[in-house]
Structures are given as structure tokens and as C-alpha cells.
A and B are shown apart, each in its own frame.
Chain A
Amino acid sequence: MSEEQKCIKCAAKLSWIGLWVSVFLAFFKGVVGIFTGSRALTASALYSLHDVISGAAVIIGLRIATRPADEEHPYGHGNAEYIVCVFTSILILGVTVFLLGDCIRIIFRGEHAPPHWAALGAAVISVFANELIYRYNICAYKHLNSPALLAHAKHHRADVISSLAVVVAIMGSAMGYRFLDALVAVFEAGHLIFLSVEIFYQGGSGLIDCAIQGSDISLIRQVLSDTSDVKEVRDIKTRQIGRRVWVDLYVCLPPEKTIAEVNAISGQIRQSIENRIEYLGNVNVFCE
């Protein structure tokens, strides 16, 4: 039991440690990459920046987004998480495209001095730091079986691989394969564009009120068809505000019931939906 508690504590700390390590690496690799002229290392710095943002979005999601609704924000603060995702992913996308253009220019011109050896040092530090965080994450994941930890671990593994590629690129360019540095950078930038677009799409569709997944909607439908008083379901509208699911139901109830009875029925529907769906924000039942 105490073993497990230790693991929980360790995991709670890990997300913070991982975040700060990524912040440090992003800055460190970025500065070294720019000064030594290694495009591959600069791209790898963007990778770490990407980790910082996804980590920070999770923390913001947990902190701000779970704040309850208030006067100013009657629907809660859930969308803050999406906004952070959208705006930062656009920033990363912009920088990455810029870097990609630069690399392609270098490859076509064929004039690229091999980066300074300092870049190699930075890449090696990044490999070891990320591998360490990865090991810790995997250990915590095995003990606690949390998918979030596995996702974190995978991020750091990807960082290890990208930094290893940088090591290869820098050594390769020093040995005479000059284009290797830019080539590795192109691959990393390409992958990063893919990742940022993915984050952007998720955040963006959340912001324009995307419906929840179909299986949850059919769960709601199931609840409504189990309730005998519901004569007809006109419409089910759902949207996700951050982590919470908001549901608007438009149903027809028997017109001869009194308002008190109607209220009891909608309370019952609300309760049974609450039992089925995690992270419920609010359920409104509208009679038509």
C-alpha cells in the first residue's frame, strides 16, 4: 500500500519535472542550435517546446478549466484549455514552417558548414535527460496503469529518438555528409507540422462546439428510450467545454402532466445520464 502511495507521489511530481526538463531543453537546444548553425538541433528544440505546450495545456486544463462557472463565465472556464492549444500550436506551426523553408534553401544551395561540436554536446544531454524521464514515467505507468503517464512517456521517448537523430546528423556533417544536418531537420520539422496540426484541429473543433463521440450520444439515447414518459426525442445537442460534457435535450413529454411532474421526470433523466457519463457539466431538458 505504501509502495503504491509512493508511486502516486512520484507520478504527481513527474509531470512537473518532465515539464521543467522540457522547458530547459527547449531553451538550451534552441540557443545552442541557433549559435552553432545546426538546423537539426533547432528543430529538436521545437520538439521539446511542443512537449512543454502539451504538458502546460494539461496543467491549465486541470487548474483553470475546472474552476466552476461564475458570473462572468456562465458556462465555466473549460474552453481556456482549447484556446491555449490553438494559439500555441499556431505559433509552433509558424516557426516550424520558417525553419523548414530555411532547411530546404540550404539543401538546394548546398552550402552548409558543419555545425560546431557544442551542438553535439547539447544533443547528447537531451538524449540522456529525456531517457531518464522516460524510464521514470514507464516505471510509474507500470505501477499505476494510467494512460496519461504512458502518453507522457511516449513523448519523452520521441524526444530521445529525435535527439539521437541530431547526434547522427552532427557527426555525419562533420564527417563530410554536409546535407545530413538539414535533412534530419526537414524530417523533424515535417513530423512537427503534423503534430501541431493535430493539436490545432482538436482545439479548434472543441472551440466551435464539436459534439461528443457517437457512443456517448447513443448512451443518452438509451437513457431517454428507457424513460417511459418521453414520447419523442426531437434533438440531442452536446458539446464539450474543456473536459466537461454539456447536454441539451429536446424532448416531448405528455402534455397532461403538471409542471411539478415534468420537473421530476427531467430530474430523473438528468440523474441517469449523470450515472452513465463521466465529467458531466450540465444537462438541460427542454420540453417541446
Chain B
Amino acid sequence: MIAQRCINCGKKVEWIVLGINFGLFILKGSFALLSHSKSLLTDSFQSLANFIITIVVLTSLRMASKGADEKFPYGYGKVELLASGIVNMLLMIAAIVFIFVSFTQIIMVGPEKPPKLVAILAAGISIIANYIAFGYGRCAGEKLGSTAILANADVSRADVATSVAVIVAVVGSNLGFSRLDHIVAIVICVLIIKVTLGGIKKAIKGLMDVSLRSEEQHIRNLVEDIEGVQCVGDVKARFAGRSLWVDVNIFVPADWVLSRGLETVRKIKNVLRRKMKGISDVSVQLLPFVGADDHGYRARYSSEKTKRE
């Protein structure tokens, strides 16, 4: 049983991380301008990126909860995927531009004054704040079993690492390695590109309705155990945002009457809703079971596939 305290905590955690990220962006941005530290500037940019992504996710979740209508019969869940894909792409472009700017500064401008040591203060605050956000997120995510919250917690932990790198860069360039600040800035940009690339890939996979192997296998196993189901045909699952749409084809004895078949369908829906998280809709198609070698199934599907080709 999940404690009520944890559920409340899970609701709040995204807003708290949002606030922390925005605060850190302002803090690190202004300190970066004060101390002329390029690496702290990219670090603040990363906090801004996290802030924007969280806002996009929160607003699209609100939009997704609007439910289906005439124009969008499957609901608005995919808005989340689309929006996060676009935001990640824009952030990646920004990071690439920043890398170019840093390179030209290294080559054209030459050695500069090292950044002032106040930058360390901002980076230190960032480390502490992000570590708190990470611990908080991980606690809530593990208690509630939410992968989304856990993923957010990991982002916070990655921010801790970049802030540590900023401290190294600021100290190092003050000790005489004058280009360290620029180099760390570039490394942070490369990390941002890596993270955003992952986000883009995930969004594209979702938008293409890529097969969800483990979920589909799980569904298949659950359905197979249900009484009356002779054999399970196609199982398709796709994400609409965070919820799953499931299509299942099952084979039942051909001489059953429909009402009995519908009884089985109801059972399947109940079992799936109870045993799996985030299922928004289950559609079950009943097919007659002809024989052990299911010729009917093979014939129908191969004919459909050739038609599509």
C-alpha cells in the first residue's frame, strides 16, 4: 500500500524540480555574467533546458487529459511526444551553435582573463540544490513506481556532475590552464546534445508507434492464461503519451455464441486493467479457432500483408 504522503509528494515533485531549475538558471546565469565563466554559462543553459522541458511535459499532460473528441478520436496523448521531440531538437541546435561559438572564441580570441572565483559559489549551490532534487525525486519515484519521476531524478543527478565540472574548470583556469573553461563548456554542450538526441529518438519511436516488445509479451502471457482463449493472435501496443492503447486478437472456439465470447473479452479487459499500469484502452477482436494449426489465422494475415505490399 502506497502511503498518502508519498502520493502527495509525487504530485509536488515535478513542480519543485521546476522551481529549482528556474532558480538555478537565474542564479548561474547572473553569476556567469559576473565572473565571465563560459562553462558556468552553459551550465545555466542546461538548467534552462530542463526547465523548458519540464514545462512542456506538464502543459502537454494537461492537454492530454482533455480526452478524445471528433477530430482526435484517440485523444491528445501524443502531443506530449511531439512537443518533447521539438523542444529537444531546438535545444540540440542551440548546443551545436554554442559549440561553434566556443571554438571560434578559443581560436580567434586567444587567452583571456580567467573567470572570477565567485563562479564556484554558484556551482556549489547548484550541486547542493540538484542533489536535494535528485534524492527527493528518487524517493518519490521508487515509492510510486513511476519511471517518469525516476527519469527526472536522473536528470538532476547529471546536473550535479556538470556543476562539479564547472568548479574544476574555474579553479583550473585560475591556476593557469586558461582554456579549461572553454573546453568544459564544450564538453557540457556535447552532453546536452547526447541527452537531447536520446529525447528525440524516444519521441520519434513513440510517434512511429514502434512495437513495445516487453509490454506485448506481458499482455500475451496474461491473455493466454484466461479460460476459453484457444490461442492469441496479434498483440499490438502503442503509447499515446503515457498511456497504452492495446489491440489484441484472440481465437475462441468457432461454435461459441457471441455473448459468451463477449464474456471472455470482459474478463481480458479486467485482467489487463488490473495487472498493468497505464492502460487507457483495450480492444479485443474475436476470431474463430479452426484447428490446432490455425490455418484461418495464417491465411487472413498473409493475405492482408500481401495486399499492403
Q: Interface residues, chain A, CB within 8 Å of chain B?
A: 68-69, 71-77, 79-80, 82-83, 86-87, 90, 94, 204-205, 207-211, 235-239, 241, 248, 250, 253-260, 262-263, 281-282, 284-288
Q: Is the CB of A208 within 8 A of B255?
A: no
Query: In terms of DSSP, what is the predominant structure of the interface of chain B?
Result: mixed
- Decide: A211 near B70, CB < 8 A? Known: A262-B286, A263-B286: yes
A72 pairs with B78, CB closer than 8 A:
no
User: Is the beta-carbon distance between A209 and B72 smaller than 8 angstroms?
Assistant: yes
B 221-264 to A, binary, CB cutoff 8 A, 1 in contact else 0: 00000000000001010101000000100001111111101100
B274 contacts chain A at the CB level, 8 A cutoff? no
Contact across chains for A208 and B79 when beta carbons are under 8 A apart: yes
Q: B258 contacts which of A74, A235, A250, A257 (Cβ < 8 Å)?
A: A257
**Given A94-B93, A208-B76, A282-B304 in contact, is the A287-B207 Cβ separation under 8 Å?**
no
Q: Is B128 an interface residue (CB 8 A)?
A: no
Bound complex: CA A287 to CA B266 (Å): 11
Q: Which chain A residues border B82 with CB–CB below 8 Å?
A: 86, 204, 207-208
Task: Check if B286 sits within 8 Å of A76, measured CB to CB.
Answer: no
List A contacts of B257 (CB < 8 A).
Answer: 255-259
Tell whether B293 is near chain A: CB-to-CB under 8 Å. no
CA distance A205 to B71 in the complex (A): 9
Chain B interface size, as a band, is: 35 or more
- In whole Å, how far is B260's beta carbon from the nearest beta carbon of chain A? 9
Other contacts beyond A69-B305, A285-B285: 19, CB < 8 A: A68-B308, A73-B211, A75-B238, A83-B207, A86-B82, A94-B90, A208-B77, A209-B78, A211-B73, A235-B73, A255-B259, A258-B258, A259-B257, A259-B287, A263-B287, A284-B283, A286-B285, A287-B261, A287-B265
Residues of chain B lying within 8 A (CB to CB) of residue A284: 247, 283, 285
Count of chain A to chain B residue pairs whose CB atoms are closer than 8 Å in the complex? 130
Docked CA distance A44–B254 (Å): 65
Q: Give Cα A160 to B257, complex, Å.
A: 67
- Shortest B86–chain A CB gap in Å is 6
Contact A209 B240 (CB under 8 A): yes
Within 8 A of A (CB), among B162-211: 204, 207-211
Closest to A235 in B: B73
Q: How far is the CB of A15 from chain B (nearest CB, A)?
A: 23
Q: How far is the CA of A239 from the CA of B254 in the complex (A)?
A: 31
In the bound complex, CA of A209 to CA of B81 (Å): 12
The residue of chain B having its C-beta at the shortest distance from the C-beta of A284 within the complex is B285
Q: Let me know if B255 and A239 touch, CB within 8 A.
A: no
Chain B 275-287, CB-CB to A under 8 Å as 1, else 0, gives 0000000011111
